[in-house]
Amino acid sequence: MKMKKLLFLAFSLIFCSNFSFTRSAKLDAKELKAMKEIWGKLGLLGKKEWDFNKDLCSDEGNWGLTVVCDCSFETNNTCRVTEIVIASQNISTAPPSEFTKLQYLQFLDLRHNYLRGTIPFEWATMRLRNISLMGNRLSGLFPKALTRMTTLLYLNIEGNRFSGPIPKEIANLKNLDMLDLSSNDFTGQLPAALAQLTNLTYLRICDNKFNGKIPNFISRWTRINILHVQGCSFEGPLPSSISALTQLNDLKISDLKGGASTFPSLQKMLGLKRLVLRNCLINGTIPNYFRNMKNLNAIDLSFNNLTGDIPSSFSEPEIVHIYLTKNNLTGPLPGWVVSSTKNLDVSYNYLTWDASGPKSCDQGQINNIHPCLRKDFPCTKSDGQKIYSLHINCGGREVNINNTMKYEADIKKKTGASTYYNGGNWAFSSTGNFLDGYDSSNVLILSNTSILNNIPTSHTELYTTARTAAISLTYYGLCLMNGNYTVRLHFSEIVFTQDHSFNSLGKRVFDVYVQGELKVKDFDIVKEAGGAGRAVIKSYRVDVKNNTLKIQLYWAGKGTTGIPVRGNYGPIISAISVDPMFHPI
Ligand SMILES: *[C@@H]1O[C@H](CO)[C@@H](O)[C@H](O)[C@H]1NC(C)=O
Ligand SMILES: *[C@@H]1O[C@H](CO)[C@@H](O)[C@H](O)[C@H]1NC(C)=O
Ligand SMILES: *[C@@H]1O[C@H](CO)[C@@H](O)[C@H](O)[C@H]1NC(C)=O
Ligand SMILES: *[C@@H]1O[C@H](CO)[C@@H](O)[C@H](O)[C@H]1NC(C)=O
Ligand SMILES: *[C@@H]1O[C@H](CO)[C@@H](O)[C@H](O)[C@H]1NC(C)=O
Ligand SMILES: *[C@@H]1O[C@H](CO)[C@@H](O)[C@H](O)[C@H]1NC(C)=O
Ligand SMILES: *[C@@H]1O[C@H](CO)[C@@H](O)[C@H](O)[C@H]1NC(C)=O
Ligand SMILES: *[C@@H]1O[C@H](CO)[C@@H](O)[C@H](O)[C@H]1NC(C)=O
Ligand SMILES: *[C@@H]1O[C@H](CO)[C@@H](O)[C@H](O)[C@H]1NC(C)=O
Ligand SMILES: *[C@@H]1O[C@H](CO)[C@@H](O)[C@H](O)[C@H]1NC(C)=O
Ligand SMILES: *[C@@H]1O[C@H](CO)[C@@H](O)[C@H](O)[C@H]1NC(C)=O
C-alpha cells in the first residue's frame, strides 16, 4: 500500500518536472540580445520593473505584463516575441530600429510615452498587425515605413506631431480595420487613395488641418461603424454619399466652414448610437425618422441653422442626450420636452411655450435658457439695485483675494445640459456631455492635478479649480449698470502637466466670445501662458449697453481628446472679474 503511494508520488513528480520542462522553453538567444538592445535604446535597462535574469517568456520578473511569446518553435523548445506593450513609461528616446530584429513581432504598443523623432525606415520590413503610438511626440511626415506594413489591421498615431499630407501610399494598407490619425498637424485634402481602405470599420481623423471638402468617396467605407471628423477645417456641404454608410453606429462631424447643407439622409443607419453633426451649417428641417434607430442614445445638432419644430421621434426613451442649442427652431415646446428627464438643451432657438412651460431656470437637466434670462435680458431692477462689478471664482469656493476682493463661489455641480442662475447678478449655461469618456460621469468642475507655477500665493485659490463644459460654456453678468467695464478672464491649464510625461502632451483649444463677438480663435492656454499651471489673463474693454454681459467659451473640435484619459477636452475657465471703468454713483 505504502509502496504504491510512493510510486504514485514519484510518478507525479516526474510528470510534473516533465511538464515544467516543456513549459521552460526559452526565448531565442538572438531575440534576447535584440530585446536587451531595444531596452537599452529606450533607456529602460536597469529599471527594476524588468529583470533580464528571468526568462522573458515566463511570467516572472514582470515580463508577463510586457511581452507575449510564441513558444512553439523548434518542437516547443524555443520562444519568439510576438507582442510588446511598453505603455506609460515616459520613454523619451526615438523609436529604435532594433525592433526589426524581432521577426515574429505582431503587436506593438508604445502608447502614452514621450517618444520623439520619427519611425525609422527600417521598420518597413516588420510584419506588424497592430501598432499604437498614441500620445507621443513623434514628428515629421507620415512615416513611409508604416505604409509598407501591409499586414496592418490597426494603426493608431493619435496625439503626435506628424505633419504634411496623408500620402497616397496609404492605399497599401488594404487590410486596415482601424485607423486613428487624430490630433496631429496633417494638412491638405484627403487623398483619393483612402477610398481603397474598404475594410475600415473605425476611422478618426479629428483635430488636423485638412482642407477642402469631406470627399464623396467616403461611401466606399461600407463597413464603417465609427467615423469621427471633428475640428478638421473641412468645408461644407456634407457629402450626400454619407447615406451609404449604413453600418455606422457612431458618427461625429463638427465645425465645417463654407457651404451649407440640408440634413443628410441617415434613415438607413438603423444601428446608430451617437450622432454629432454640430456646427455643420445645416439648414432646413430635422427629419423625423429616428424612431427606427433603437440604439440611438445621443444626438447633437447644436450650432446649425435648423428650422421647423423638434421631431416627435426625439421623445423615444432610449435617446438620453439631445443638444439642439443655437438653431432656428420654432413652434411650441412639445409637452414631452417640458416633462423630460433627458439631458436636453433647446436654448438659443425661437421656441415658444405656454403657461405649462418652464418658468424658472432651475429645470434640472433641461437647458432652455430663455425662461430664466428672458428674451433680450431686460433688467427690471432700479438703478440703485444694479451692480457695477462682478467677480466669480469659476468652479471654486468663495475667496477673498488680499482680504479685499471677494470672488463669489461657483460650485454647483450641474450636469451636462444645464443652466444655473444664482438669483441675483450672474448665471451660466452649460452645453454638452463628455460622451466619449470611458465613464459617463461628467466632471464639470476640475481641480489642479499638479503644482501651480508663477502664480502669486494670494491668487492661487482662483486657479486651483476651473469650470469646464463639453461643448459650450456661457457666463452672464446680469443687471449691470450700463457703461464701460474691464472684463478679465483668468485661465490656467490645470489638467495637463508641465513635465516630461505623456500628461504634458495634452492640447486644449477653444474659442472665446465676449458679447457675441469672437475675441480669440483657437485659444491655447498653455501656449499663451508659457506652460501648464501658469496663469494667463485676457483683458477686454466691454461697453455694456443692455445691462447684460455675455462671455462664451466654445469647443470647436480642436485639441487632444484622449490625454490624459479619453474625454479630456473642452474649454476651461478659472475666474472672471468685471470692474467698472467709470465712477459708480
Ligand atoms: C507543443 O505544445 C502544444 C501545446 O502544449 C502541444 O499541443 C503540441 O503537441 C506540442 N508539440 C510538440 C511537437 O511537442
Ligand atoms: C513619468 O513621469 C511622471 C512625471 O514626472 C511621474 O509622475 C511618473 O511616475 C513617471 N512614470 C514612470 C513610469 O516613470
Ligand atoms: C488588433 O486590432 C484589432 C482591430 O483592428 C483588434 O480587434 C484586436 O483586438 C487588436 N489586437 C491586439 C492584441 O491589440
Ligand atoms: C477584409 O476583411 C475580410 C474579413 O473581415 C477579409 O476576408 C478580406 O480579405 C479583407 N479585405 C482586404 C482587402 O483586406
Ligand atoms: C445661418 O444662416 C445665415 C443666413 O443664411 C448665415 O449667415 C449663417 O452663417 C448661418 N449660420 C450657421 C451656423 O450655419
Ligand atoms: C440652405 O442653404 C442653401 C445654400 O446656402 C440654400 O441654397 C438653401 O435654400 C437653404 N435651404 C433652406 C431650407 O434654407
Ligand atoms: C431664423 O428665425 C428667425 C425668426 O423666425 C428669422 O427671422 C430668421 O430669418 C431665421 N434665420 C434663418 C437663417 O433661417
Ligand atoms: C439694447 O439697448 C439699445 C440702446 O440702449 C436699444 O436700442 C436696443 O433695442 C437694446 N437691445 C435689446 C436686444 O434689448
Ligand atoms: C493683491 O495684492 C497684490 C500685492 O499687493 C497685488 O499685486 C494684486 O493686484 C492684488 N490683487 C487684487 C485682486 O487686488
Ligand atoms: C494644486 O496647486 C496648489 C498650489 O500650487 C498645490 O499646493 C497643490 O499641491 C496642487 N494640487 C496637486 C494635486 O498637485
Ligand atoms: C464706452 O467707451 C466707448 C469707447 O471709448 C465710448 O464711445 C462710450 O461712450 C462709452 N460708454 C459709456 C456709457 O460711457
- Pocket residue to mutate for ligand 9, from 458, 488, 579, most atoms within 8 A of Cβ: 458
Atom number, ligand 2, closest to the C-alpha of residue 90: 1
Alpha-carbon distance 416 to 344, whole Å? 9
* Cell, residue 80: 519568439
402 lines ligand 9 (CB under 6 A): yes
CA distances from 318 to 216, 249, 266, 313, 343 (A): 31, 14, 18, 11, 12
Atom number, ligand 5, closest to the C-alpha of residue 282: 14
Burial class, 17, CB count within 10 angstroms (exposed 0-12 / middle 13-18 / buried 19+)? exposed
Would you give the end-to-end CA distance of the chain in angstroms? 109
Q: Which of 398, 503, 526 is nearest to 449 (CA)?
A: 503
151 lines ligand 4 (CB under 6 A): no
- Pocket residue to mutate for ligand 7, from 328, 352, 375, most atoms within 8 A of Cβ: 328
Distance, CA 398 to ligand 9 centroid (Å)?
17
CA 535 from centroid of its chain's CA atoms: 23
Distance, CA 496 to ligand 10 centroid (Å)?
13
For the CA of 91, the nearest ligand = 2
What sign has the CA pseudo-torsion 323, 328, 329, 331? positive
Alpha-carbon distance 297 to 543, whole Å? 42
328 lines ligand 7 (CB under 6 A): yes
Other Cβ atoms less than 10 A from the Cβ of 147: the count is: 20
Question: What residue ranges in 424-534 does DSSP mark as E strands?
Answer: 426-431, 445-447, 465-468, 472-477, 483-492, 510-514, 517-523
Atom number, ligand 7, closest to the C-alpha of residue 305: 13
Residue whose CA is at the smallest distance from ligand 6 atom 3: 260
Distance, CA 452 to ligand 10 centroid (Å)?
6
Q: Which of 377, 388, 551, 553 is nearest to 475 (CA)?
A: 551
Q: Which of 452, 439, 409 is nearest to 566 (CA)?
A: 439
Alpha-carbon distance 197 to 178, whole Å? 10
Report the run of H or E that residue 22 belongs to, with start and end: helix 2-23
Q: Enter the DSSP assignment of 19.
A: H
Model pTM score:
0.92
Question: At the top level of CATH, which class does the domain 372-580 belong to?
Answer: mainly beta
Distance, CA 327 to ligand 7 centroid (Å)?
9
For the CA of 401, the nearest ligand = 9
For residue 456, is the peptide bond before it cis, meaning its omega torsion is within 30 degrees of 0? Answer: no
Domain ranges of the chain: 372-580
Atom number, ligand 5, closest to the C-alpha of residue 326: 13
In tens digits, what is the pLDDT along the chain, a chain of 585 residues? 333 334 444 444 444 333 444 457 899 999 999 999 999 999 999 888 899 999 999 888 889 889 999 999 999 999 999 999 999 999 999 999 999 999 999 999 999 999 999 999 999 999 999 999 999 999 999 999 999 999 999 999 999 999 999 999 999 999 999 999 999 999 999 999 999 999 999 999 999 999 999 999 999 999 999 999 999 999 999 999 999 999 999 999 999 998 999 999 999 999 999 999 999 999 999 999 999 999 999 999 999 999 999 999 999 999 999 999 999 999 888 888 877 788 888 888 888 877 665 555 554 555 655 555 544 566 778 888 889 999 999 999 999 998 889 999 999 876 666 667 665 688 888 888 888 755 555 788 999 999 999 899 999 999 999 999 999 999 999 889 999 999 999 999 999 999 999 999 999 999 999 999 999 999 999 999 999 999 999 999 999 998 899 999 999 999 999 999 999 999 999 999 999 999 886
For residue 237, is the peptide bond before it cis, meaning its omega torsion is within 30 degrees of 0? Answer: yes
* Cell, residue 579: 470692474
